[in-house]
Structure 1
Amino acid sequence: MKFIDEANILIIAGKGGDGCISFRREKYIPYGGPDGGNGGNGGNIYICTNKNLNTLMHLNFKKTFYAENGGNGKPKLCTGKNGKNLLIYVPIGTIIKIIKNKKIISKIILNNQKILLAKGGVRGLGNNHFKSSINRTPFKKTKGLLGEKKKIYLELLLLADVGLIGLPNSGKSTFVNIISAAKPKIDIYPFTTIKPKLGVVYTEKKTFIIADIPGIIKNSSKGYGLGYRFLKHIKRCKLLLLMIDIKPLDKSNIIDNIKIIINELKLYDKEILKKPYWLIFNKMDLINKKNLDIIIKNIIKKINWKNKYYIISCLKNIRVKFLCNKIAEFL
């Protein structure tokens, strides 16, 4: 299924039904009085969460949504039918904004949560409503009001406990593949992951959700690469993992690669780096233990790293379970 994390829609609530002008006409009752009924209220538009949805793709095929209009009033004091409400379903984690001013209406984070987006128009009144002691035969009615009309922007933020970030080919997809039921595409080409993937990880102590964000590169903040537009999905993560290739195929400098990731995160949103983030050095199987220890100690010293770091091999599944347990303990 194609991953779509934003949508623009137009919503139009139902119009209220018009009131009716009518008079009671029965044999032997020449002055029966008014009996025009009121109209029905227009249908409201609600947005609801559905835990089985994980994308906004279904809202990209239909851009305008209408609730049902209220029915008009009828003779014999018959009230028009209320318009049927419209429910628009979205995934958990959807943010709703008004396009005009980008004002956030609501953040939907619970299953089966229901939010009123547009209220239907108020019903019109029939002439029976206007009868009085001084006006026994009113020829007055009111029309139903139009329902609210709004342009809405929907943005989906994935709900994950852990965000996995790294340069292309750092081993993120392999890591997620090993520890969870998610099966992201794995290859040696850059940008194999072109959309976020969610994986559920089960440990003895805790179950957590991890999000594999497409690889970010230098100047991602200027629009290069694929990962930058998806970084919004890590805003709700409790922990960030920075996956570092300890032996890059392109012979790039490991310290420079770490700085690239951290710098791009800063440029995107300084608040993100206030979250706990760990360095995960991958592909330890490609370097002998003696040299590996020297390399890692040298890197940690040069960048003055104060946070936690772990050394693993996704391909050989070395220390991966240990890392997952540490993540579970932290969460």
Structure 2
Amino acid sequence: MKFLDEAKVYVRSGDGGDGVVAFRREKFIEFGGPDGGNGGRGGDVWAEAVEGLNTLIDYRYTQHFRARKGGNGAGSDRTGAKAPDVVLKVPVGTQILDEDKESLIADLDAPGKRVLICKGGDGGFGNAHYKSSTNRAPRRADKGWPGEERWIWLRLKLMADAGLVGLPNAGKSTFLAAVSAARPKIADYPFTTLHPQLGVVRLNATEEFVLADIPGLIEGASEGAGLGTRFLGHIERCRVLLHLVDGSQADPGAAYRLIRRELAEYGAGLEEKPEVVVLNKTDAMTPQAIASRRKALERACGGPVMLASGATGAGVPEVLRRLMDVIRKAR
């Protein structure tokens, strides 16, 4: 299934039903009178967050959603039927933006959360509504009120407990595949990952968390270089960042500072999130290289650095335990 995290759709609520002009005339009943009913309400358009979805691909080919018109009134003071609502089912974590792509309408960050996007039009009054002591036989009935229409943007921000960040080929996809059942594409060239990936990490029967892998960042990503920072929105909701640094490169400190700079340029509080720094690919280094590059990375980040190898699994359980401890405190 193709991953799609952004879609533009058109929504329109239903018009209200029309009121009618009708009069009561029955045999053996002395007095008649107006009994035209009101129109029914048009259908509303709602958006609802549901579990089991992790992409907006359903809105790639179906982009127009219209609710039906309410039923017209009838004689014997019968009100028209209300039209059924239209519900857009979206993944948990979807934001709904106005057409300008900046004004936030709603943030559906919990299962079952729903928001009214377009309200259906009210039904028109029938002539029974207008009868009075001075107007015994009104012949007025109103049309239903029109519904609302608008274009909206759906933007998905994945709900994950921890997010993987790092340069391309830092070993993020390998790490995700080693600790979860996710099967991201893995290759020895940069930008192998083109779409965010999610994996559930289970430490034991009672402890688990969701880990998100996003495409790698490069220098100038905040200005649009490479894949830009489009996918950083998927880790905005994470409780902790797992920063993987490729230990096989000459200067891991420079790689760390580059990513931190891009996170700061993006904003949204990413640079303030708790962070676990890991020197990855220890299987490709000598003990002397591990010691020297670990010290260089500790100087760059100003804190402890963990060692791991996604390929062999060395150090991975310790990293997962550290992540779980941070997530538990945040929860």
- How far off is 1:270 after superposition? 6.5
The residue that corresponds to 1:36 in the other structure is: 36
The residue that corresponds to 1:230 in the other structure is: 231
What is the RMSD computed on CA atoms of the aligned residues? 1.7
Q: Are residues 190 and 107 of structure 1, via their aligned partners in 2, closer, same or farther at CA, if it must alter by over 3 Å?
A: same
The 5 A counterparts of 1:271-282 are 271-282=269-280
Q: Could you tell me which amino acid in structure 2 is paired with residue 40 of structure 1?
A: G
Distance in structure 1 (CA, Å) of the matches to 2:127 and 2:306: 78
Distance in structure 2 (CA, Å) of the matches to 1:295 and 1:101: 43
Which sits farther off after the overlay, 237-246 or 222-231? 222-231
The 5 A counterparts of 1:205-220 are 206-220=207-221
The residue that corresponds to 1:55 in the other structure is: 55
Which sits farther off after the overlay, 45-54 or 290-299? 290-299
The residue that corresponds to 1:166 in the other structure is: 166
The residue that corresponds to 1:202 in the other structure is: 202
Please tell me whether the aligned partners of residues 251 and 293 of structure 2 are also in contact (alpha carbons under 8 angstroms): no
Q: Structure 1 residue 26 and structure 2 residue 26: aligned?
A: yes
- How far off is 1:219 after superposition? 1.1
Distance in structure 1 (CA, Å) of the matches to 2:183 and 2:304: 27
Distance in structure 1 (CA, Å) of the matches to 2:297 and 2:326: 24
The residue that corresponds to 1:315 in the other structure is: 311
The answer for unaligned runs of 5 or more in structure 2 is none
- How far off is 1:24 after superposition? 2.0
Look up the SS of the partner of 1:115 in the other structure: strand
- How far off is 1:60 after superposition? 1.9
The answer for unaligned runs of 5 or more in structure 1 is none
The residue that corresponds to 2:287 in the other structure is: 289
| Alignment TM-score, normalising by the size of structure 2 | 0.94
Q: Are residues 110 and 295 of structure 1, via their aligned partners in 2, closer, same or farther at CA, if it must alter by over 3 Å?
A: closer
Distance in structure 2 (CA, Å) of the matches to 1:159 and 1:111: 11
Please tell me whether the aligned partners of residues 121 and 144 of structure 2 are also in contact (alpha carbons under 8 angstroms): yes
Q: Could you tell me which amino acid in structure 2 is paired with residue 288 of structure 1?
A: T
The residue that corresponds to 1:244 in the other structure is: 245
Please tell me whether the aligned partners of residues 55 and 91 of structure 2 are also in contact (alpha carbons under 8 angstroms): yes
Look up the SS of the partner of 1:8 in the other structure: strand
Look up the SS of the partner of 1:124 in the other structure: coil
- How far off is 1:17 after superposition? 0.4
The residue that corresponds to 2:326 in the other structure is: 330
Q: Could you tell me which amino acid in structure 1 is paired with residue 43 of structure 2?
A: G
The residue that corresponds to 1:111 in the other structure is: 111
Please tell me whether the aligned partners of residues 215 and 227 of structure 1 are also in contact (alpha carbons under 8 angstroms): no
Q: Structure 1 residue 91 and structure 2 residue 91: aligned?
A: yes
Q: Could you tell me which amino acid in structure 1 is paired with residue 151 of structure 2?
A: K
The residue that corresponds to 2:296 in the other structure is: 298
Q: Are residues 60 and 323 of structure 1, via their aligned partners in 2, closer, same or farther at CA, if it must alter by over 3 Å?
A: same
Give the % identical residues.
40
Q: Could you tell me which amino acid in structure 2 is paired with residue 307 of structure 1?
A: G
Residue by residue, what CA displacement relative to the aligned partner does 1:237-274 show, whole Å, maximum 9, x if unpaired?
111111111113xxx63222222211111111162111
- How far off is 1:131 after superposition? 0.8
What is the aligned residue count? 326
Distance in structure 2 (CA, Å) of the matches to 1:7 and 1:247: 39
Look up the SS of the partner of 2:158 in the other structure: coil
The residue that corresponds to 1:193 in the other structure is: 193
Distance in structure 2 (CA, Å) of the matches to 1:294 and 1:270: 34
Distance in structure 2 (CA, Å) of the matches to 1:57 and 1:88: 13
